[in-house]
Chains A and B, each alone.
Chain A
């Protein structure tokens, strides 16, 4: 390992980490703004112009609040819960290709921390690990509402992971690779061979299933049953206060950011944008524009998450399970079969 490599990766990791925290921070502000705009209100507008310092004020508030650990709580696990939640949320960013390569002084620098050849599975693993933070925290609180929230989170995550995995399998059948970088490069441009290159147009049903499962996996409304206020007080974070509560809330927003990035990479052409090869730009310029477009796609998905949250009411618990097991899983299996048939037909008749 040469020094330049280490420095380059170090800078990349720092930038990505900062950006994801920043995006998560401003997602809290965006959430409040979007909510208020959808409800004909103005939203936070006191801290700084248009209230843009609101996340800072919220952060200071969270940090300076009193920390309460319940007497009969398991202290180690009580602290480990939110830490795990935010850790699993952050490590997902490692395999996402934020842009294609940039050439500086003869060195080709890929804008991706690690091009793991099982990147999709890595993301999947991190997502499935995410539930531990909630489960451990909910159990360690020694409170029945927290425990109920934790159990709901666990069963919900397991149920929707299956449909999510099956919808990804259909995608992988057409891409033929598990590496996110390769999948991103396959979607280069916007139009090729008489059809859109982006996977959302090749796997519309798979994308829909993945989208719904992403909502369920990030515990976002309409699937926010683990923290459903009307039934469970605060759900798994009922007993949490101060920055530990902040960590849980923050982890939710980082999860949203990461899952938006994954959706953009897998289905919406990652850092590719229309006419990228026809404008006569240099390779570096295309890369930089690609990062901008990637961010735009991510922001669109984050907005979409919020838009759905303030439109659709929460599911009932049995409806959630019915949707997961009786609708999404059969649909995604049908999607796999359809994809298989399509690939075979294409191989035989359109070659």
Chain B
């Protein structure tokens, strides 16, 4: 039957000629190709010393941001935990006491804030859900570790360093 699209290709299978059946020319050709590859430029990036630039929309480790006066922005509203499809975020809210105004921006703050990095899928929905612009996935690659419990990151790892005065 005639092919409608006319894209069908009929492949002819000829029996091998003597030259082809000898294999040696083909082997020599192959070896020449592999030999040429010895002198090609190597695309290797020597990782710990040399790091490739991340793309602009790269999503890495989370960080909890501070405002311009160095106060934590997070108000423990729980929207990030709610939006998280992997259920990786938990938190316990605390009330700001007198004299802590320089530490927390709002009256309510996250006393405990934990992200389970084994559950996290780095989708960035927490970032989008946050009304206070407190969480961003702008960190590096999450490092490997030996124990599961070490992958639950608390505030000490997540909160950004205070500004230097």
Contacts and interface: CB of A to CB of B under 8 A. Distances in A.
A307 B34 contact: yes
Interface in B135-150: none
Nearest to B24: A208
A217 B35 CA distance: 25
B44 A312 contact: no
B42 A307 contact: no
B31 A307 contact: yes
A37 B39 CA distance: 8
Contacts of B18: none
Contact of A38 (B27, B37, B43, B46): B37
A211 B46 CA distance: 38
Interface string A195-235: 00000000000000000000000000000000000000000
B38 A37 contact: yes
A37 B81 CA distance: 49
Interface in B14-37: 27, 30-31, 33-35, 37
Interface string B84-111: 0000000000000000000000000000
Interface in A233-276: none
A22 interface: no
Contacts of A312: 27, 30-31
Contact of B31 (A37, A41, A42, A308): A308
A41 B38 CA distance: 9
B44 A38 contact: no
A107 to B, nearest CB: 45
Contacts of A38: 34-35, 37-38
A312 B27 CA distance: 7
A308 B27 CA distance: 9
A124 interface: no
B37 A39 contact: yes
A307 B28 CA distance: 11
Contacts of B40: 40
B27 A41 contact: no
Contacts, number: 30
Contacts of A311: 27, 30-31, 33-34
- The range of chain A's interface size is 10 to 19
Contacts of A39: 37
A190 interface: no
A35 to B, nearest CB: 10
A310 interface: yes
Interface in A158-190: none
B65 to A, nearest CB: 37
B31 A40 contact: no
Interface in A13-57: 37-42, 45
A39 B43 CA distance: 11
A37 B33 CA distance: 12
Contacts of B46: 42, 45
Contacts of A37: 37-38
A127 B30 CA distance: 29
Nearest to A310: B34
Contacts of B27: 311-312
A41 to B, nearest CB: 6
A42 B38 contact: no
A41 B42 contact: yes
A173 to B, nearest CB: 24
Given A37-B37, A42-B44, 15 more contacts: A37-B38, A38-B35, A38-B38, A39-B37, A40-B37, A41-B42, A41-B44, A42-B42, A42-B46, A307-B31, A311-B27, A311-B31, A311-B33, A311-B34, A312-B27
21 contacts: A37-B37, A37-B38, A38-B34, A38-B35, A38-B37, A39-B37, A40-B40, A40-B42, A40-B43, A41-B42, A41-B44, A42-B42, A42-B44, A42-B46, A307-B35, A310-B34, A311-B27, A311-B30, A311-B34, A312-B27, A312-B31
The 5 closest A-B pairs by CB, nearest first: A311-B34, A37-B38, A42-B44, A38-B34, A311-B31
